[in-house]
Amino acid sequence: MDKEKKVKNRLEELANLIKKHNYNYHTLDKPEISDKEFDKLVKENENLEKKYPNLILNHSPNKIYGSKVKSNFKKITHVSQMYSLSNAFDNKDVEDFVKRLAKFLNLSDYNEFEFICEPKIDGLSLNLVYKKGKLVSAGTRGNGLVGENVTQNILNIENIPRKLIGEFPDFIEIRGEVFLNKSDFEKINTKLEKKSKFANPRNAAAGSLRQLDVSVSHSRPLKFIPHGIGECSKNFNLIEDYYNELKKWNIIPNHLIKKCNSIDEVVKYYNQIDQSRSNIDYDIDGLVVKINSFKLQKRLGYVGKNPRWAIAVKFSAEKANTKIKSIDFQVGRTGAITPVARLEPINIGGVIISNASLHNFDEIIKKNINVSDIVEIERAGDVIPYVTRLIKKNYKLNVKFKPPIYCPICKSDLFKEQNEAILRCSNTYGCSSQKIGRLIHFVGKKSLNIDGFGEKQIKQLYNLKYINKVEDIFNLNKFRSEIIKLDGWGELSFSNLIDSINNSKKISFDKFIFSLGIRFIGEVNAEILANEFKTLDVFISSSNKVNVLENIDGLGPKAISSIIDYFSNDINIDTIKNLKKHLSIVYAKNTTSDNFFSNKHLVFTGTLTELSREEAKYLAKSKGAKILSAISKKTDFLIAGEKAGSKIDKASKLGIKILDEKEFLKKINL
Ligand code: AMP
Ligand code: ZN
């Protein structure tokens, strides 16, 4: 093939690829490649067009999308983090939530709270920044810290003024939901070709907002309702006050907001909204219950990505009946075997479902479920759909379901742990399914976050024996010439993958611990361990010291025995040694802040009167302290409340400083 022909072919290929990925990203809201990979395609197209202007296609992406193809949206960093919400599903969960708050705040009466209740709108979170009353940017939530800059796309939305009126603060982040009315969604869909129709109003809103061509966004009747606040130069006492101010600035809050003074009132309002759901012209999936007082919100703080001071009470899940075509067994990273029902596809609340979890084998037997029965499927939010009950048995096929006797993948023996219903494969280091599971976990979003490396690629490269253990990922270059010839790969995608792998090498210590996939060491425990041990070497050398591990606040017995187990195995030690050669682990700097408790080890004893122990620990941690459960030579302070016991004697003997509640509060600036 002559050179020009080759270039022409490639330009044709690029035009198709760019078109396809644009469509996936902006219309379907389902990107298949990373932003970086997309940018690379655009860049390659641009370079070729510059070099061979005579070959520019009529349908060049540059001509279609304007003078210069825009890559995906620019990133925007939120001034203060955007959060998610934890969920409640029934009255009991609401009651538990309120009791939890009272306990944290050390209140004996939980009827003192004022709640703001409002529908949970099923749309997209938006963060509007106003400086001196002028709208300066609008960003999606993204990962909470960094989102996408969609400022140009939202300029036509009714309830988003470009300028605030009245007495507004100098700086404010106003948060709310962008969505489409059900009726507008229907109208948009009727105009779209069958294959581009949106599955539900939420997808349609996302697709309408994230349009490269802003005129498309502007032509869609997107709506905005505020429901939160980020950074602000002015303080408010109550959510109520904030919403009243919003109205004066010309941003109208939801008129279904209701103030409730007791759990009963919350539950009553929840039922009322649930029943009138079909009369509300936008999709809602629950009721959000928030503490009205900002002062209490501040004290309650956050747990991971969720505020402690709010909860989303979800409406009951959507259900539908369908037939089980077959039951497969999946073996996960920790050897757990999950039965999965393959279903005759069914639409539940706008989403096509063709697989559902059957939880475990005891459940299948108890419910008397088998292939070709009609069953009920439930789908609640983002949770994996599951089979709830048998609807109609197929008596013609009168065979009882039998759980597997051996691992369906590696044929090893199975076992059950004490008090657990889950069957597990015993071949931890040899079972290919467990190995693949660990590889997928290692490259996943919460671990190394290697773009463009998903389940499909891992399985393909594992089956061809190019990767076996996690550390092999860093030696993939050895197989370059083979891989680029594989189905779904090419020069470009391979070099993109290598770039992503290289970019992932710098990793924070807590993420590194998480990525190892030690059982019971999820994000929270990984963070506790990283804070405690500071460096990998200290972690490894402490990992067999039961007394040290037991003394770490928040680390439970299952996690402790799992850590001991993990590090007692040479295979794992080898893996860590190999990973160390490739990765650059970033350790948190010792905070040299002037906080009195920075990097100090605290032990609590006795009953505090002003604060609950949980709040006291939360405060101390936020000032850089480490909390231990027992006194040792490492302890810097014992915080002693009323009725303190033997810890006082032990601390005195070791010469450890003892602070009473008053002194503690003073040092913590309360
Ligand atoms: P989730 O993404 O399921 O954790 O739910 C949290 C999201 O619910 C928030 O990021 C908001 O975008 C959204 N949301 C919808 N309505 C409300 C509301 N009234 N108050 C707070 N958040 C809401
Ligand atoms: Zn196995």
- How would DSSP label each residue in 179-208? E--HHHHHHHHHHS-GGG--SSHHHHHHHH
User: What pLDDT does residue 278 have?
Assistant: 84
Q: Which two tokens stand for residue 220?
A: 């869609």
Question: Whole-angstrom Cα distance, residue 219 to residue 471?
Answer: 50
CA-proximal residue: ligand 1, atom 6 (nearest): 84
Is pTM beyond 0.85? Reply is no
> Is residue 230 lining ligand 1, measured as CB closer than 6 Å?
no
Q: How far is CA 588 from CA 129, 146, 322, in A?
A: 30, 21, 51
> Is residue 49 lining ligand 1, measured as CB closer than 6 Å?
no
SS3 state of residue 593: coil
| Dist. CA 227 → ligand 1 center (Å) | 8
For 513-579, what is the HEC assignment? Answer: HHHCCCCCCCHHHHHHHHHHHCCHHHHHHHCCCHHHHHCECCCCHHHHHHHHHHHCCHHHHHHHHHH
> Is residue 290 lining ligand 1, measured as CB closer than 6 Å?
no
Find out whether 292 and 116 touch, Cβ atoms under 8 Å. Answer: yes
| Dist. CA 430 → ligand 2 center (Å) | 7
One-letter amino acid at 570 equals D
The rounded radius of gyration (Å) of the Cα atoms in the chain is 28
User: What pLDDT does residue 85 have?
Assistant: 93
| Dist. CA 387 → ligand 1 center (Å) | 27
- Bridge partners (DSSP) of residue 423 are 416
Question: Whole-angstrom Cα distance, residue 174 to residue 226?
Answer: 7
* Residues noted as catalytic: 120
Find out whether 392 and 361 touch, Cβ atoms under 8 Å. Answer: no
SS3 state of residue 363: helix
| Nearest atom, ligand 1, residue 312 CA | 5
> Is residue 468 lining ligand 1, measured as CB closer than 6 Å?
no
User: Exposed, middle or buried, 463 (CB in 10 Å: 0-12/13-18/19+)?
Assistant: exposed
Find out whether 198 and 188 touch, Cβ atoms under 8 Å. Answer: yes
Q: Write phi, then psi, for 132 (nearest 5 degrees).
A: 45, 40
User: What pLDDT does residue 317 have?
Assistant: 77
Is beta strand 657-660 parallel, antiparallel or unpaired with respect to 124-131?
unpaired
> Is residue 177 lining ligand 1, measured as CB closer than 6 Å?
yes
Tell me the per-residue pLDDT of 546-592, one tens digit each, with 9 for 90 and over: 999 998 988 999 999 999 999 999 999 999 999 999 999 999 876 55
User: What pLDDT does residue 111 have?
Assistant: 79
Tell me the per-residue pLDDT of 486-502, one tens digit each, with 9 for 90 and over: 988 888 889 989 999 99
- Of the residues 85, 117, 174, 315, which should be mutated to test ligand 1's pocket, given the most ligand atoms within 8 Å of the CB? 85
User: What pLDDT does residue 320 have?
Assistant: 92
> Is residue 169 lining ligand 1, measured as CB closer than 6 Å?
no
SS3 state of residue 285: strand
User: What pLDDT does residue 591 have?
Assistant: 57
Find out whether 202 and 188 touch, Cβ atoms under 8 Å. Answer: no
Question: Whole-angstrom Cα distance, residue 574 to residue 570?
Answer: 6
Listed residue (562, 551, 504, 561) closest to 528, CA to CA: 551
- Bridge partners (DSSP) of residue 323 are 374
> Is residue 285 lining ligand 1, measured as CB closer than 6 Å?
no
For 201-239, what is the HEC assignment? Answer: HHHHHHHHHCCCCHHHHHHCCCEEEEEEEEEECCCCCEH
Q: Which two tokens stand for residue 635?
A: 């302890």
User: What pLDDT does residue 68 have?
Assistant: 45
User: What pLDDT does residue 65 have?
Assistant: 57
One-letter amino acid at 448 equals L
Which stretches in the chain have pLDDT values below 50?
A: 66-70
CA-proximal residue: ligand 1, atom 20 (nearest): 227
Q: Write phi, then psi, for 497 (nearest 5 degrees).
A: -65, -45
| Dist. CA 226 → ligand 1 center (Å) | 11
Question: Whole-angstrom Cα distance, residue 235 to residue 1?
Answer: 70
- Of the residues 177, 255, 302, which should be mutated to test ligand 1's pocket, given the most ligand atoms within 8 Å of the CB? 177
Question: Whole-angstrom Cα distance, residue 380 to residue 319?
Answer: 9
